[in-house]
Chain A
Amino acid sequence: MASAAAPSVAKPGLGIRFERIERRFGALIALRSLSLEIAPGEFVALLGHNGAGKTTLLRITAQLMRPSRGAVTFFAESTDQQVPFRDVKGRTGLVGHSLLLYDELSAEENLTLFAKLYALENVPARVASALQACGLSSRATSQVRTFSRGMRQRLAIARALLHSPSLLLLDEPAAGLDRQGLEWLGATLKRLRGDGCTVIMSTHARNESLELATRAIVLAGGRLQQDTGAGGDLRQLLESMRAEA
């Protein structure tokens, strides 16, 4: 598919540091005393069973919820250069469990809305090229509620990428995608990795895009169970997880 006309990564990737993060939902502890540092530009595969805390960690990173305890900080290049939360907001993209799109608006209207909210320049051109990139140009004016699951997911991903984020968070992005969609996702993620965008992708071990990951983190029961570290060998870990599954 065509590449976007816009700059691929507006600024270099963001790094994140989690210090003894804890998140509770009443009696349920989703994350316990989690400490972790992710360097700018890393492509992190976030693994673990359902309920391990992956989605919670992503939502905290997206600033959609605060940790019950502990601190999250964002930095650029080195940990001394802290980036304020407000600035991080405009540079984060999220593909979540939910669609994050309006059913009664068309694909074009949805993307135009978010393009305007992120104060992008030349909105019509950006939207058109985003639609073309994800292969939805022909359905640009149809309402999202008429879309198939695969098409919705593609649009959701396109929405997350629209503002050229420096930090991309993906919660099982391959869900619902067809062959073509998966190829597009893989190509897009490869390009983003090349551009230095920080990517955290929560997924199951069978996802092909895991080939792109530079690091794998496994959560279990809200705790950090395994961490290959940057440049560690993921293959062994992934194979053992696939064998388990």
Chain B
Amino acid sequence: MKARISISIALALLVFCAGYAALFIAPDEATMHLIQRIFYFHVPLWTAMTVVLSIACFSNIAWLVSRRPMWDLLGASSAEVGVLCCTGGLITGMLWGKPVWGIWWTWDPRLTSTFILWLLYISYLLLRELIEDPHRRATLSAVFGIFAYLDLPIVLLATTLWPRGQHPQPVLFGGPKSINHTMLSVFFLCMVSIVLVMILILADRYRLEKLRFEADELRVEIESREMDAQSAPPTRGIVGRGMAHE
């Protein structure tokens, strides 16, 4: 418990420093000025999303191989957190885009793929919602999760190859051409802090799911013992081969 609180406080401080650095310490960028600072959050969110969704895919595979409930819980939690990072990435992307190009949205590879990813993992969560049997839910969503994850690089590739003569193609990713030393340091600080925060959120989410799962197990166990106590004691019939229980 204490460790959790200390870690949370430490990370909060780290994020505060990163935010401060991004807003005030990093030098002003030549063309985009203030709005460019979103880059310090946008790219790390994208990275965090990739990390978290990779954990999701790994959990899906681990569930199919081992059938241990923790992998199912981790898979679901990381998909949720992944959607969170994705949403953050989309919003920061749009906020960056508006002042720079004058429009809220463009179909450039990064934004487009992020949006499709978002749809994919929302549908993963929807699938989980709509299957009632827990065992089936875990297996089938794991299969879908693996498919979804394999689709990510394919989606990115397709949107990159896709010719889009009509739309502006700003370089959203990569930031300024010549990376200033300070900018680089601030960038890494932000990267580390945001990825760590997302992992902390994931850990918390997973913990919540695990507690819920354990509470369910306990409740079912209690109910079953109550039922046993209520029903008539088992009649000792003619017991031969085979082991009668209790």
Contact = CB atoms under 8 A, between A and B. Distances in A.
B2 interface: no
B165 interface: no
B229 to A, nearest CB: 12
Interface in B85-137: 132-135
Interface string B223-246: 110011001001101111111111
Contacts of A33: 245
Given A27-B220, A35-B245, A224-B245, A231 B240 contact: yes
Chain A interface SS verdict (over half): strand
B216 interface: yes
Interface string A9-42: 0000000000000001111010011111111000
A221 interface: yes
B214 to A, nearest CB: 14
B70 to A, nearest CB: 15
Interface residues of A, number: 32
A223 B231 CA distance: 12
Contact of B245 (A68, A223, A232): A223
Which of B133, B220, B241 has the most chain A CB atoms inside 10 A of its CB?
B241
Contacts of B242: 35-38, 217, 224, 227, 229
Given A26-B132, A27-B216, A27-B220, A230 B241 contact: yes
Given A33-B245, A68-B135, A220-B234, A229 B227 contact: no
Interface of A: 24-27, 29, 32-39, 68, 215, 217-218, 220-221, 223-233, 236-237
Interface of B: 132-135, 216, 219-220, 223-224, 227-228, 231, 234-235, 237-246
